[in-house]
């Protein structure tokens, strides 16, 4: 089928995620055709280096035949097995055991979802169930970070703290509340690490005191805020928040959907500070985007609380048709092998340190207010005035111009709506490929200086 025919069908039929529907129909689709390693080629033959790993997910890179073979072999042998009726399959059981082994502490029980949003959804439902059956039914309020993102399901979107996921959806619900993010660049108390940590801890304490400890169920956070602009907290922040949650007797959920599987260096970002959450969500890098799969890891306290107090003989009424899908599980097992035996996790750690240094060289650019990174996860915040940190007006259409020029220059990144560039290169990248990403980014930033509406606002 021709590209033009596909574009017409797309306009008529595919409702794209998180898109302006009218705007997408006007713009049309960009069709991706093939990919290998860190590079992707579109239907017009234009090759790009993928500085965003698909959607923060293709950690091992594109084109691994061993993953394709694992999926094909499982499809031939057993393409589907339900987890209902106490049924199961070998790859799903082995994957649950492997995740229990590699996740921190006592996160020994794994519920499988299709992705990150429904892993969060499972957590929210099970937390409510846990408190109800353990005799604390008033603990309903869920706290999360300002600018945090925890999916777009009918429950998770309320925990997400981004306006686009609330407007006209009647969110957030009355049981969703937000605490200060560790946003050093724009922290009113100052950018000193200790001050940033203290401000977040104080905000968490104040919110629990306002609502009443008997009414607060849990605190959700990303170890590094992702879709809210890649907000990288100071070292020590995550542990301080985890310790405070324990002291306040609220559950602590680490959302490692983006940060998991080597994205920030260690297998999980929690490991960097010795944090063991009560629950942990994961997806994206779990299968490296080759198949849909998410997971919720549950610690012993919550698992046993539900197991020992659920109505005798009755089910815990949460489940999905594709939970623990054997093909996705087989893909995940091979991806996990590649992280370890294939050397991809070690390569990501080595190249991540190089990436942080190379990206920092962009700080001298007239548009760049701050460069922030942890491993192969980074954000570049652009400003109209470096001294005052004043942002560009919406009329400048900076994100739109950024993405278009980046694409023309052969580099994919995320251009957030508030003038922040998001980066998450595949862990398989070489140093020369990191150089290419940074070179093409600088060219893209230079191109912005020639755009009249951008040039007019730059101070």
Q: Quick one: 285 and 317 in the same domain?
A: yes
Q: Quick one: 331 and 348 in the same domain?
A: no
Residue 405 lies in a domain: yes
* Residues 119/320, Cβ–Cβ less than 8 Å: no
pLDDT of amino acid 154: 62
pLDDT of amino acid 156: 60
Residue 386 lies in a domain: yes
Full DSSP string of 135-194: T-TT--EEEEETT-----STTHHHH---GGGTTTTT-S-TTEEEE----GGG-TT-S-HH
Residue 287 lies in a domain: yes
CATH number of residue 334's parent domain: 3.40.640.10
Q: Quick one: 49 and 74 in the same domain?
A: no
CATH number of residue 407's parent domain: 3.90.1150.10
Residue 24 lies in a domain: no
Residue 107 lies in a domain: yes
Q: Quick one: 393 and 326 in the same domain?
A: no
Cα(54)–Cα(130) distance, rounded to whole angstroms? 36
Domain end point (choices 341, 368, 403): 341
Domain end point (choices 309, 324, 341): 341
pLDDT of amino acid 314: 85
Residue 3 lies in a domain: no
Residue 203 lies in a domain: yes
Q: Quick one: 36 and 113 in the same domain?
A: no
pLDDT per residue, tens digit, the chain (459 aa), is 899 999 999 999 999 988 888 999 999 999 999 999 999 999 999 999 999 999 999 999 999 999 999 999 999 999 999 999 999 999 999 999 999 999 999 999 999 999 999 999 999 999 999 999 999 999 999 999 999 888 767 666 557 656 655 454 456 565 678 899 999 999 888 889 999 999 999 999 999 999 999 999 999 999 999 999 999 999 999 999 999 999 999 999 999 999 999 999 999 999 999 999 999 999 999 999 999 999 999 999 999 999 999 988 888 989 999 999 999 999 999 999 999 999 999 999 999 999 999 999 999 999 999 999 999 999 999 999 999 999 999 999 999 999 999 999 999 999 999 999 999 999 999 999 999 999 999 999 999 999 999 999 998
Cα(64)–Cα(90) distance, rounded to whole angstroms? 22
Query: Which three-class secondary structure state does DSSP give residue 446?
Result: helix
For 311, counting Cβ atoms within 10 Å of its Cβ (0-12 exposed, 13-18 middle, 19+ buried), the class is exposed
Q: Quick one: 58 and 102 in the same domain?
A: no
Residue 14 lies in a domain: no
Contacts of 100 (CB under 8 A, 6+ apart): 107, 108, 109, 110, 297
Domain end point (choices 341, 375, 398): 341
Q: Which of 25, 51, 43, 60 is nearest to 427 (CA)?
A: 60
Instruction: Domain of residue 113: give its range.
Output: 66-341
pLDDT of amino acid 26: 92
Cα(246)–Cα(255) distance, rounded to whole angstroms? 17
Taking residue 333's Cβ as centre, other Cβ atoms within 10 Å add up to 19
Cα(353)–Cα(108) distance, rounded to whole angstroms? 31
Q: Quick one: 227 and 275 in the same domain?
A: yes
Q: Quick one: 41 and 87 in the same domain?
A: no
Q: Quick one: 426 and 450 in the same domain?
A: yes
Q: Quick one: 320 and 433 in the same domain?
A: no
- The CA–CA distances, whole Å, from 352 to 35, 265, 336, 416 equal 22, 7, 19, 22
Cα(227)–Cα(77) distance, rounded to whole angstroms? 38
Q: Quick one: 190 and 91 in the same domain?
A: yes
pLDDT of amino acid 296: 98
User: What is the count of structural domains for the chain?
Assistant: 2
Q: Quick one: 109 and 140 in the same domain?
A: yes
Cα(213)–Cα(310) distance, rounded to whole angstroms? 24
Query: Which three-class secondary structure state does DSSP give residue 109?
Result: strand
């Amino acid at each position: 089928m021709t590209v033009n025919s596909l574009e017409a069908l797309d306009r008529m039929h595919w409702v794209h995620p998180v898109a302006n529907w009218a705007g997408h129909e006007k713009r049309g689709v960009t069709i991706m055709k093939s990919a290998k390693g860190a590079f992707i080629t579109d239907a017009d033959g234009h090759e790009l280096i993928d500085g965003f790993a698909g959607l923060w997910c293709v950690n091992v890179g594109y084109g691994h035949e061993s993953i394709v073979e694992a999926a094909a072999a499982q499809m031939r042998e057993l393409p589907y097995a339900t987890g209902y009726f106490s049924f199961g399959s070998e790859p799903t059981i082995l994957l649950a055991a492997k995740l229990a082994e590699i996740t921190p502490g006592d996160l020994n029980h794994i519920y499988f979802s299709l992705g990150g949003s429904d892993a969060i959804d499972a957590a929210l439902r099970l937390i409510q169930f846990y408190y109800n059956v353990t005799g604390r039914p008033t603990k309903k309020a869920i706290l999360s970070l300002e600018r945090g993102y925890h999916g777009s399901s009918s429950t998770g979107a309320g925990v997400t703290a981004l306006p686009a996921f609330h407007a006209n959806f009647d969110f957030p619900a009355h049981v969703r509340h937000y605490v200060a993010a560790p946003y050093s660049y724009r922290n009113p108390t100052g950018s000193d690490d200790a001050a940033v940590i203290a401000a977040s801890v104080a905000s968490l304490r104040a919110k629990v005191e306002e609502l009443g400890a008997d009414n607060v169920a849990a605190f959700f956070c990303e170890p590094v805020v992702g879709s809210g602009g890649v907000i990288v907290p100071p070292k020590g922040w995550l542990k301080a928040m985890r310790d405070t949650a324990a002291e306040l007797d609220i559950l602590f959920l680490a959302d490692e959907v983006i940060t998991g599987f080597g994205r920030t260096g260690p297998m999980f970002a929690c490991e960097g500070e010795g944090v063991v959450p009560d629950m942990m969500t994961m997806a994206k890098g779990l299968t490296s985007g080759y198949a849909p799969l998410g997971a919720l890891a549950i610690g012993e306290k919550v698992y046993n609380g539900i197991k020992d107090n659920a109505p005798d003989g009755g089910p815990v009424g949460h489940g999905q048709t594709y939970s623990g899908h054997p093909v996705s599980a087989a893909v995940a097992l091979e991806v996990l092998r590649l992280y370890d035996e294939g050397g991809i996790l070690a390569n990501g750690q080595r190249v991540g340190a190089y990436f942080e240094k190379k990206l920092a060289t962009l700080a001298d650019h007239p548009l760049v207010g701050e460069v922030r990174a942890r491993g192969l996860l980074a954000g570049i915040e652009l400003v109209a005035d470096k001294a005052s940190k004043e942002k560009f007006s919406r009329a400048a259409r900076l994100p739109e111009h950024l993405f278009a020029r980046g694409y023309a220059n052969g580099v994919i990144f995320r251009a957030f709506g508030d003038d922040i560039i998001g980066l998450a290169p595949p862990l398989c990248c070489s140093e020369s490929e990191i150089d290419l990403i940074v070179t093409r980014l600088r060219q893209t930033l230079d191109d912005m200086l020639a755009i009249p509406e951008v040039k007019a606002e730059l101070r």
